[in-house]
């Protein structure tokens, strides 16, 4: 998780899950962030509270994984406040809802470094 908000959510979530008696380890698959009590889990971090949430997204790999097996999605909201809230979503239940599909094309740094010209 490269962004500060995501790292903050990860630390907060691991602390709370551990306090509640869960076993939490880093995932052995890039598709997921954690393994919680033996089950794969993904973390979605948001600065806003749940009622003002814009959206969460699943990568293609996460979407395909959710079609194959149920995993947990931990939504950590309200990260700008001193009182973050954690919600747990079943990926199989989420897939029962209709998603808006957005396609994007990403170009990584190894490509851009060779194409970018300073002004």
**Host domain of residue 82:** 4-115
Query: For the segment 82-110, what is each residue's pLDDT rounded down to a tens digit?
Result: 889 999 999 999 999 988 888 777 777 78
Strands 72-77 and 39-45: parallel
CATH number of domain containing 72:
3.40.1350.10
Other Cβ atoms within 10 Å of 53 Cβ, number: 15
Q: How far apart are CA 77 and CA 52, in angstroms?
A: 10
Q: How far is CA 66 from the centre of its chain?
A: 13
Confidence of residue 111 (pLDDT cuts 50, 70, 90): confident
Percentage of the chain with pLDDT > 90? 66
pTM of the model: 0.84
């Amino acid at each position: 998780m490269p962004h500060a908000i995501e790292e903050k959510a990860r630390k907060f979530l691991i602390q709370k899950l551990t306090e509640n008696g869960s076993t939490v380890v880093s995932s052995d698959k890039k598709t997921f962030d954690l393994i919680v009590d033996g089950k794969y889990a993904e973390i979605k971090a948001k600065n806003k509270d749940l009622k003002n949430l814009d959206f969460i997204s699943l990568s293609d790999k996460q979407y395909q994984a959710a079609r194959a097996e149920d995993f947990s999605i931990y939504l950590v909201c309200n990260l700008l406040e001193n009182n973050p809230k954690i919600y747990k979503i079943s990926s199989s239940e989420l897939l029962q809802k209709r998603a808006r599909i957005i396609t994007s094309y990403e170009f990584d740094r190894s490509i851009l470094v060779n194409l970018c010209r300073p002004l």
